[in-house]
Structure 1
Amino acid sequence: MFIILFAIELIYFKLANRYNIIDHPNHRSSHTKVTIRGGGIIFSMALLLSPVYLGWHYGYFLIGLFLVSAISFIDDIKTIGNGIRISVHLIAVILLFYQLNMYSLPLYWVVIGFVVVIGTINAINFMDGINGITGAYGLITLGMLYYINASVINFTSSDFLLLAILAVLVFIFFNFRTKAKCFAGDVGSVSLAFIILFFLLQLILKTNNLNYILLLLVYGLDTATTIFFRIIRKEKISEAHRSHFYQFLVNEKKLPHLLVAVIYAVSQGLINIILIVFLSQTIYTLLVLIFISIVLFICIRIITEGPARLFKANPVQF
């Protein structure tokens, strides 16, 4: 299967070169070379082709995955309005929730679920800005989900989950490089987010343990604190920027892309181990850990970036 996915990725590269689906660096970019865009299409392709060899399972999820992947791929080629993109995301999440039978839950949980899932999809998309980070973080997260499924509690199809991991490994081969062969593109980061959330929600619903949201804690900390500091600076949240901590480490501190990607992945891996080995299932433990993590991460950012950059209105970003 790995070889088949590898071949599909190479075919996509040929098509991308032919139809000029490439990424040109701009003032917000953390790269300087023209690179193929949309290599992350392999994430959705792997699962959308799964009925051929795994049978037709999770049909509503696959339709939702197709929708978010299609609209994101179009957006990679030609910019689409936020209204259209969010509407398609909303339809996809409706299908996802139907697949997971979430409409049997109280209405307030469903509403919270919509907000959290759509917000998380966009957060993971925004975190895709340097070589290696999407693949490494995705591998750590899916890898831990696979371990939990195999050794802690069975909550999903192991073959389906393994297929997603193989797709990430194929992408890593081409992206986890100093000079990447391809970028994930919106089609990659959004579809991977949708896939991860599908498995994560399955796990949470199976165990009734919200602590498993900590499997996305590092990305959540970077995104949440970035929004917090942008609000303090009175910036428009909807405007493009490169204010994330990982972007500061690469663009200002000049750390190598792959080093930063590894730092994020390893940090999340350590949190995953703590989650599995030490944490209880109580909501209070979750809230306390999230609060402590936010405070610590904010302190790290203040010490590393400096108060002027984080708190001063309209700082220089480029």
Structure 2
Amino acid sequence: MSLTGYFLLTIALVLIEWLYVRLARRYAFFEKLNERSMHQHPTTVRAGGFIFYLAALAAVWQHDTLFYFCLGLTSLALVCFGDDWVDLPKRYRLAVQLLAVGLMLGQQGLLASHWYIAVALLVVGVGLLNAYNFMDGVNGMTAFCGLVAVGTLWFVEGQLLGATNALFPCVLIALLVFSYVNARPQAICFAGDVGSVSMGFIVLYGIVDCVSRSHSWLPVLFIAVYGMDSGLTILYRLYLGQNIVQPHRMHLYQVLVSSRRWSHLHVSALYACVQLFINGLIIVMLTKPPMTQLLMFCVVVGCLSAGYVLARIQLGNGTKKRVGFEKPTRL
């Protein structure tokens, strides 16, 4: 895509987002407050992240080789946007997520491997999509972490792996537009399921593509900070005897906001800055021998795990009484 094309895309996304916010306010399409919500503003517009899908669609228009990726993303976006309007049964959402991840993995040729590897990849992929869905509760988290992840993937694929794909620059533009209405003390709109799940799918595709092209597992660490928070929080909730499929506010970043009263933007910026530092290390290590890469992988995972445990200890046992233990309602 030319510079003129990117400029026109930017103008189009700005106008579409502006028009959507006006229409959503007119018809009271606001975020529903529940036990997972980290804000108290009942007039925040939801589902503003649908522009991520539009940006990806514009990129796929230039590269028809991404047909199956686009098909999977479209199915996700339609179902998630519908779920933002009217709550859909979980089984429908799960079925579409499995279909979308399967299409993306099939395009990469990964479903032709051993069945247990394919099943594991499907489970991890669907888990990542649902983990990304939780990002939307804190102002700036989807925007900042998305900018770091997508920007890194764009740099690695373009500068190190020689790929020429308009997907990541187009989505980066959409993230910048979305940041204006989300990354502020009182957000104008949230990404919604359509935005957060679409972003998770785009990042998942980028990581899988980087792993396939670089023949290294290090790119999975491009989302290590949020990924470790999500994974270790699941283990922590299992330790507490909670139902892990129920909505909650037990992510470390949620506790920092709700219990310690940290600013939404400060927490989001902290996560994004730590991830940016890690991504810089990973980019340097991609050209190193396999054993050096393995050592780096272990060091990053070990440091993040230790930091998570120490933070939980510092927060104290009182967290259980203060955060996320109201009777859950359906999202």
**TM-score, normalized by length of structure 2?**
0.88
8 Å CA contact 2:102–2:111 kept in 1: the answer is no
Say whether 1:197 aligns with 2:207.
no
8 Å Cα contact 2:207/2:220 also seen in 1: yes
1:45 equivalenced with 2:33 (yes/no): no
Cα distance, 1:315 vs structure 2: 7.2
Following superposition, the deviation at residue 20 of structure 1 comes to 2.9
- In structure 2, C-alpha distance between the alignment counterparts of 1:82 and 1:182, rounded to whole Å: 24
Inter-partner Cα distance in structure 2 for 1:169 and 1:36: 17
Q: Do the aligned partners of 1:221 and 1:297 also contact (CA within 8 Å) in 2?
A: no
CA contact (8 A) 1:30 1:130 kept: yes
Determine what percentage of the aligned residue pairs are the same residue.
Answer: 33
Contact conserved, 1:138 with 1:168, CA < 8 A, in 2?
yes
One-letter identity of the residue aligned with 1:194? F
- The answer to whether the 8 A contact 2:47-2:194 is kept is yes
Shift of 1:241: 0.9
CA distance in 1, matches of 2:296, 2:198: 27
Aligned residue in 2 for 1:228 = 235
In the alignment, residue 301 of structure 1 is paired with which amino acid? A
Distance 2:14 2:100 in 1: 27
Following the alignment from structure 1 to structure 2, what is the Cα–Cα distance between the partners of residues 164 and 137?
Answer: 13
Q: Note the C-alpha offset of 1:191.
A: 0.3
Q: What's 2:139 paired with?
A: 131
2:274 corresponding residue in structure 1: 267
Q: Is the 8 A contact 2:141 2:268 kept in 1?
A: yes
Residues 114 and 168 of structure 1, relative CA distance in 2, 3 Å threshold: same
Q: What SS is found at the alignment partner of 2:64?
A: coil
Following TM superposition, by how much is the alpha carbon of 1:288 offset from its aligned partner in structure 2, in angstroms?
2.1
CA distance in 2, matches of 1:302, 1:259: 18
Aligned to 1:164: 171
Q: Is the 8 A contact 2:248 2:324 kept in 1?
A: no
Aligned pair partner of 1:296 in 286, 306, 313 = 306
Deviations 1:2-42 (A, max 9, x none): 11111121222233234432113334311111200001000
Residue in 1 that maps onto 2:157: 149
- In structure 2, the partner of 1:20 is 28
Q: Does the aligned pair in 1 maintain the 2:221–2:282 contact within 8 Å?
A: yes
Q: Larger deviation: 212-221 or 14-23? A: 14-23
Aligned mates of 1:99, 1:87 — CA distance in 2: 18
Aligned residues: 314
Q: Is the 8 A contact 1:38 1:76 kept in 2?
A: yes
The aligned counterpart of 1:30 is 38
In structure 1, what residue type is equivalent to 2:85? Answer: I
Distance 2:325 2:285 in 1: 40
Shift of 1:285: 2.5
Change (3 A) 1:4 1:315: closer
CA deviations on 1:24-68 (whole Å, 9 max, x unpaired) are: 33343111112000010000111123455x253301111100111
- 1:180 and 2:190 aligned: no
Task: Mark the runs of 5 or more structure 2 residues left unpaired by the alignment.
Answer: 1-8, 327-331
4+ residue segments displaced more than 6 Å: none
Deviation at 1:269, TM superposition (A): 0.4
In structure 2, C-alpha distance between the alignment counterparts of 1:172 and 1:166, rounded to whole Å: 10
Q: Residue type of the partner of 2:51? A: I
Structure 1 unaligned regions, length at least 5: none
How far is the alpha carbon of 1:316 from its aligned partner? Answer: 6.6
2:172 & 2:324 partners in 1: Cα distance? 39
Task: Please state if 1:114 is matched with 2:144.
Answer: no
CA pair 9-182 structure 1, distance change in 2 beyond 3 A: same
CA contact (8 A) 2:36 2:324 kept: no
Shift of 1:294: 4.7
Question: Does the aligned pair in 1 maintain the 2:35–2:247 contact within 8 Å?
Answer: no
